[in-house]
């Protein structure tokens, strides 16, 4: 395996193991599993991998700032899905609608951000 392929495999295994651990904990302790899932693990790992590949403070600052703005449109999904589930909507439909809302809000954020001087 070439070094770039090996590095990708290590990244995927570490990242996947953290996601798997969160889901295993959530089986027994839903609240604690949600806490783990809510941690910005993907963002932190992404920043670590990015810094390893390109240790540039200005680039990292732009990345971290843009990540903040992109987190905001994802948050309503976590309100919509439980509301739909509590009102009898099936899981897959609720998840699909939550994801569709997030995609729409991402598109809105991408369109609106430059109008407010945000570089994403």
Q: CA of 113: how far to CAs of 31, 63, 64, 75, 98, in Å?
A: 33, 15, 15, 17, 22
Task: List per-residue pLDDT tens for the chain, 120 residues long.
Answer: 667 888 888 888 988 888 888 889 989 998 888 888 788 888 888 899 899 889 999 999 999 999 999 999 999 999 999 999 999 999 999 999 999 999 999 999 999 999 999 888
User: Per-residue b/e over 54-86, b at no fewer than 16 CB within 10 Å?
Assistant: eeeeeeeeebeeebebbeebbeebeebbeebee
Q: Residue 41: what pLDDT?
A: 81
Q: Residue 12: what pLDDT?
A: 87
pTM over 0.85: no
- Contacts for 52 with CB less than 8 Å, ≥ 6 apart: none
Q: Residue 1: what pLDDT?
A: 65
Six token digits for residue 36: 């783990």
Three-class DSSP category at 8:
helix
């Amino acid at each position: 395996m070439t070094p770039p392929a090996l590095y990708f495999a290590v990244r995927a295994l570490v990242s996947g193991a953290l996601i798997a651990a969160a889901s295993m904990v959530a089986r027994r302790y839903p609240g604690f599993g949600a806490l783990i899932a809510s941690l910005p693990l993907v963002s932190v790992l992404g920043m670590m991998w990015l810094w390893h590949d390109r240790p540039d403070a200005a680039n990292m600052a732009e990345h971290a700032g843009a990540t903040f703005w992109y987190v905001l449109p994802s948050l309503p999904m976590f309100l919509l899905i439980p509301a739909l589930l509590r009102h009898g909507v099936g899981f897959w439909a609720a998840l699909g609608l939550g994801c569709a809302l997030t995609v729409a809000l991402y598109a809105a954020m991408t369109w609106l951000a430059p109008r407010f001087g945000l570089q994403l």
